[in-house]
Amino acid sequence: MFKKILIANRGEIALRVICACRELGIKTVAVYSEADDNSLHVRFADEDVCIGPARSSESYLSVPAFISAAEITGADAIHPGYGFLSESAYLAEVCEACHIKFIGPSPNVIRLLGDKARARRAMKKAGVPVLPGSDGPVESEEKAARIARDLGYPIIIKAVAGGGGRGMRVIRAPGELGKALKTAQREAEAAFGVGDVYLEKYVEHPRHIEFQVLGDHHGAVVHLGERECSIQRRHQKLLEEAPSMAVTEKMRRKLGGTVVDAARAVQYTNAGTFEFLLDDKGNFYFLEVNTRVQVEHPVTEFITAVDIVKEQIRIACGERLSFKQGDVTFNGHSIECRVNAEDPETFAPSPGIIHAFSVPGGPGVRVDTFAHSECTVSPYYDSMIAKIIVHGRDRQEAIARMRRTLEMTVIDGIKTSIPLHLKILADPDFIAGRLSTSFMERYVVEKKSGRTGLAEAV
């Protein structure tokens, strides 16, 4: 087993990795920017290294900073968390060259799946359902128009280097195509340095459902079921749950099996997430693979009792998965609310000092956070300050448990999204499980039109 792991991240996920390391008897190295010198991840790590100024580009996004910190402290491995360089094939490659284990898939797999058009092709070949679309990048307007006509409108233009909703454009009529293609290519070039885009048939009001997988270095792959992630705004998830009310046991077994086969086909190792759209007819369509641990992994941990971060570490040091697909069981229902430091009405960031912080415990409650009383929420980083995760015997109990937990949470000094979460939890469509990626949009529209929408309710 590794003796020492460097955590190339900050905030709650850095603490989450420290939890796993402590339970496994592994020493930890925290890295931190000048804005984070009082952070809990620094306090609870065995060693710490300051890697630069507050700005991420000069600290948490610096490959040389991570590598030199690992070399100075003699770390055997780097856990990248999520965000920052967690899906950087380059970081994984430099780690390999420096004989430091990168806790994630191989550089080649990260590169393959990071190219959304290549990933789509690989998944199609492996038998995963994909939407009708272009076989690869489309350069010319003529080719795009021909493909779009065959697909039928609406279509969506996606950046090959995009993902997570960045660099997408929906086209509803042939007249919009030419200009949109050029703009999409230009924007992709500016944002990612790669201007390639591809086309897909557009699905209206789908659900967003993702499957968690784990693969070891001996060819074993298992899935841990799905997460329902449809409640999001501007591609930022607000609330996730497992299992999804829209997925039957039969669907789970079928798509889970397909995803496991596909992961094996691309020699996927470590933890990964296969994202899908689910349309109103029950059809799944592949979107992309995330090659990192996800923010919402705790809902899966609650219903399967698998510690995903510990498994990531064990896999990276070459251990075999200790359980088989048949050993994976799904127990009860879990919900996560991402508590953000933001105005619940306008969504404007609300950084500052948290003067009082208290979250109740009790049965079935888990809080993953870096926050505490008198801590600072920096304007330099993501606004997520805590994840509140609950587990109940069924969805109804989980909803009630989440509601009482949020009601008994104290966060003074900054605005948070908790009032918005409470509105979602009281929404009749949410309670009935009528979800789609348009769920949050509808709030805003209803508010503007003056009707009693969720923004006014509660």
Residues that bind ligand MV4 (CB under 6 A): 131, 156, 163-165, 200-203, 206, 208, 232, 235, 275, 277, 287-288, 437
Rounded to the nearest whole angstrom, what is the least distance from the CB of residue 204 to ligand MV4 in the complex?
8
Rounded to the nearest whole angstrom, what is the least distance from the CB of residue 273 to ligand MV4 in the complex?
11
Nearer to ligand MV4, 48 or 87 (CB): 87
Q: Give helix 395-407 / helix 418-426 axis angle, nearest 10°.
A: 150
Residue tagged 């997460």 (tokens): 227
Rounded to the nearest whole angstrom, what is the least distance from the CB of residue 281 to ligand MV4 in the complex?
14
Q: Provide the residue count of the chain.
A: 458
Rounded to the nearest whole angstrom, what is the least distance from the CB of residue 164 to ligand MV4 in the complex?
6
Nearer to ligand MV4, 46 or 176 (CB): 176
Cα–Cα dist 396/317, whole Å:
40
**Catalytic-residue membership of 43:** no
Nearer to ligand MV4, 137 or 206 (CB): 206
Q: What are phi and psi of 443, to 5 degrees?
A: -55, -55
Rounded to the nearest whole angstrom, what is the least distance from the CB of residue 436 to ligand MV4 in the complex?
9
Which tokens is 373 given?
């009383």
Nearer to ligand MV4, 163 or 215 (CB): 163
From the candidates 10, 169, 207, 292, which is the catalytic residue? Answer: 292
Cα–Cα dist 447/38, whole Å:
41
Nearer to ligand MV4, 66 or 286 (CB): 286
Instruction: Give strand pairing partners of 50.
Output: 32
DSSP string, 87-141: T-HHHHHHHHHTT-EESSS-HHHHHHHHSHHHHHHHHHHTT----SB-SS---SH
Cα–Cα dist 456/257, whole Å:
43
Cα–Cα dist 446/432, whole Å:
19
Cα–Cα dist 134/200, whole Å:
7
Rounded to the nearest whole angstrom, what is the least distance from the CB of residue 339 to ligand MV4 in the complex?
20
**Other Cβ atoms within 10 Å of 132 Cβ, number:** 13
Nearer to ligand MV4, 203 or 398 (CB): 203
Catalytic residues: 292
